[in-house]
Amino acid sequence: MNGHRKKFAVILAAGKGKRMKSEIPKVLHRLGGKALVDWVIDAVLPLELDGIVAVVGFKKDEVISHIREKYGDAVKFAHQPELLGTGDAVARALEFLPPAGDVFVLCGDVPLIRTQTLRKLFETHTTGGNSATILTARVPDPTGYGRIVRADDGSVLKIVEHKDATPGELAIDEINSGTYVFRIEDLAPALGKISNDNAQGEYYLTDVIGVFCESGRRVGAVSVEDYHEILGINSKEQLHQLEKFINSYQN
């Protein structure tokens, strides 16, 4: 049924990463000897995609140069001139995507995502006939992450960002990893319906999930077994922690 549908990946790589306290673009910081964004590209390359788009912004020329040097023409680039959030970033990538198909959306600073997890996410997405499928994880400390709010039947109601969460929502330990699969024909119109009326003044990709849920579209979720796989890098301390984690596996 889905054999004719094309499949893409969008990698969000526009951020400066203020908490890194560095002039190096966040996705070019190194883990285990390679740039964070390289880990993500290496994870999606085996998925037999019809295209990969990296959304670049801060010091875009450096990021583009690095990726082109390593991956040649395998990656196309969309430019996000102002960092107005993940929803705006994905909207910038739409011009590189067809009107219909499926698209992974991944963060360029989440290095340990595995190809086999992405395959499982895609399988759940297609077999469930979902408009969106979210990769989630249960974590010991969900501080700073968007929380997954589920209905009584286990379906996804919404994702609420940490800064906008109620005390009850802050108690939820299931978090959004920032990794998704979307049906492009449902994603594009939904992006046009989200607003930046929130604490950050940004367009959240997570609000697309709310648009889907309100309109009765099916949203699925797959939880990873090891939450390390979805950990994002926001500071040098987090980078050092993940370096220690991968070294413990290698030794």
* Catalytically active residues, by annotation: 19
Contact assessment for residue 94 and residue 225, using Cβ atoms and an 8 Å cutoff: no
- The radius of gyration computed from the CA coordinates of the chain, to the nearest angstrom, equals 17
Token pair recorded at residue 158: 């919404």
Kindly state the DSSP code that residue 243 receives in the 8-state scheme. Answer: H
In sequence order, which residues have a C-beta less than 8 Å from that of residue 64 and are 6 or more positions away? 54, 56, 77
What CA dihedral angle connects 232, 238, 243 and 249, to 10 degrees?
-70
Q: How far is CA 96 from CA 83, 132, 191, in A?
A: 19, 19, 15
Token pair recorded at residue 138: 């249960």
- Cα–Cα distance measured from residue 92 to residue 88, given in angstroms and rounded to the nearest whole number: 6
Token pair recorded at residue 208: 């697309």
- Cα–Cα distance measured from residue 99 to residue 161, given in angstroms and rounded to the nearest whole number: 29
Token pair recorded at residue 9: 């990946």
